[in-house]
Amino acid sequence: MTESQFPDSIVIKGGKLVDAGGERSGDVRISGGQIVAVGEDLDADRVLDAGGCLVSPGLVDLHTHLREPGSEEAETIETGARAAALGGYTAVLAMPNTKPAIDSASVVKDVLELGRAALIDVQTSGAITVGRNGEQLAPMAEMADLGVHVFTDDGSGVQSDALMRRAMEYATGLGVTLAQHCEVTALSAGTAMNEGEWSTKLGLGGQPAEAEELMVMRDIALARLTGARVHFLHMSTAGSVDMIAAAKASGLPITAEAAPHHFTLTDACCATYDATFKVHPPLRTSSDVDAVKAGLASGTLDAIATDHAPHTPESKELPFDEAPPGMLGLEYALALAFTELVDGGAMTDADVLARLSWQPAAIASMAEQGRPIAVGEAANLCIVDPSVTWIIDDSGGASRSRNVPYVGRAVRGKVRHTVCAGEAVVIDGEAQG
């Protein structure tokens, strides 16, 4: 075959293909935004070498703080999407705790419009309540009409039982999913970290595991009452994992995610009062970390979601109890998962890719993401070399912020190329455009 037979085509050559259907070797030819051939010895105008790599459906992040509109000094849609592309993501779901909050059709439109210029597919969640103030339901229907499938007040949980019940009834009618940040503020107000041995030693206000678990328990009860589809964000405690396992076993349509920091770091990391380690929900104990890992391995936790939360260096230099919570994640999640979960013996590479790609894509109803690597499918792919080890540095990568809690950590797995909608947006680890 000659090059001219495949104008503007790309072939991903020599990788191992991994998707929901299993693993096999093969080349992938892409043209016009789609996969046009899968097989041996394929040619194209441009060859992306995938020797030694896994070729997976692109990663999908259910939980990305892009900070635009309102906090562009920390991140923009453009910079966050670039970080995501470098991390192997082809789609992210933006969280609505922007300024203003993403709580109306007009803000949804603005975010989607800005997202169209980004390297990858930027989709957005919408707020459950107006201004995320927990008092009045947001106009979910007008946002759903624009394609919003997931609603959340993330950054806060909806405190009122009655309002959450109403939100679930409304969401059921609309066929959308509610994603809860589980935190009972009556128990978390004034706290800076997990309640336990370390909060006592450090003299910092501690938040008990129950601040998360009481809301998990309530929302499971309300999901049973209303039939709503509920997704539990950033689960951090052993008790939460147990309740979700039991609720799923009883047949409720619930899903849950864990963030990389909750299977990697413990509250002992706060020992130096470095606010890089401040996050909501807080870093917990090593037995919670083990439970989160086990929950991911068993499938109780369906997805790994970054909770990528950029904050400026100035804000993270504030005293621990005054600094904002949150840490970067998009460029580290895949390598942390391979290192902590696969090398730790709990899961296979394919299990990790399931939690990072096709399972989150299904939760967010992203029809063109997480799809099998097959002819006719949209070409959204992550090509990762699982054998490369590297040391995480403090640069923050493509993010505008640098709040990286993993500095100095050796990890395995490096994204080589990312292909989004048929375009090579990362080639040999370099973002294009």
Binding interface with ligand DOR (CB under 6 A)? 65, 97, 154-155, 181, 279-280, 307, 309, 324-326
Which residue's CB is nearer to ligand DOR, number 75 or number 121? 75
CB burial of residue 180 (10 Å; 0-12, 13-18, 19+)? buried
Residue 89 near residue 330, CB atoms below 8 Å: yes
If one counts every other C-beta atom within 10 angstroms of the C-beta of residue 2, the result is 6
Q: Smallest gap, in angstroms, from Cβ of residue 234 to ligand DOR?
A: 7
Listing DSSP states for 82-109 in one string gives: HHHHHTTEEEEEE-S-SSS-S-SHHHHH
Distance CA 298, CA 289 (A): 14
Output the smallest distance, CB 126 to ligand DOR, in A: 16
User: Which residues 6+ apart lie within 8 Å of 282 measured at CB?
Assistant: 191, 192, 193, 194, 207, 236, 267, 325
Nearer to ligand DOR, 90 or 401 (CB): 401
Shortest distance in whole angstroms from residue 159 CB to ligand DOR: 15
Token representation of residue 92: 């992210």
CB-CB contact of 125 with 147 (8 Å): no
Euclidean distance between CA atoms 311 and 360, whole angstroms: 25
How far is Cα 235 from Cα 213, in angstroms, rounded to an integer? 9
Main-chain dihedrals φ then ψ at residue 424, nearest 5 degrees: -80, 100
CB of 303 to ligand DOR, least distance (A): 16
Complex with ligand DOR: residue 67 or 417, whichever CB lies closer: 67
State the minimum distance, in angstroms, from the CB of residue 326 to ligand DOR.
3
Strand bridging mode 10-19 / 46-49: parallel
Shortest spacing between CB 182 and ligand DOR, in angstroms: 10
Residues catalogued as catalytic: 307
Residue 382 phi, psi dihedral angles, 5° rounding = -120, 130
Nearer to ligand DOR, 65 or 412 (CB): 65
Q: What is the DSSP code string of 320-337?
A: TTTSPP-B--TTTHHHHH
Cβ nearer to ligand DOR, comparing 68 with 307: 307
- Cα separation, 28 vs 66, whole angstroms: 32
User: Whole-number minimum distance, CB 154 to ligand DOR, in Å?
Assistant: 5
Neighbour count for residue 49 (Cβ, 10 Å) = 16
Distance CA 149, CA 133 (A): 20
Which residue is at the shortest CB distance from ligand DOR?
326
Closer by beta carbon to ligand DOR, 309 or else 347: 309
d(CA 46, CA 24): 22
**Long-range CB contacts (within 8 A, 24+) of 388-394:** 388/412, 388/413, 388/414, 390/335, 390/414, 392/332, 392/335
- Name the minimum Å distance from CB 315 to ligand DOR: 10
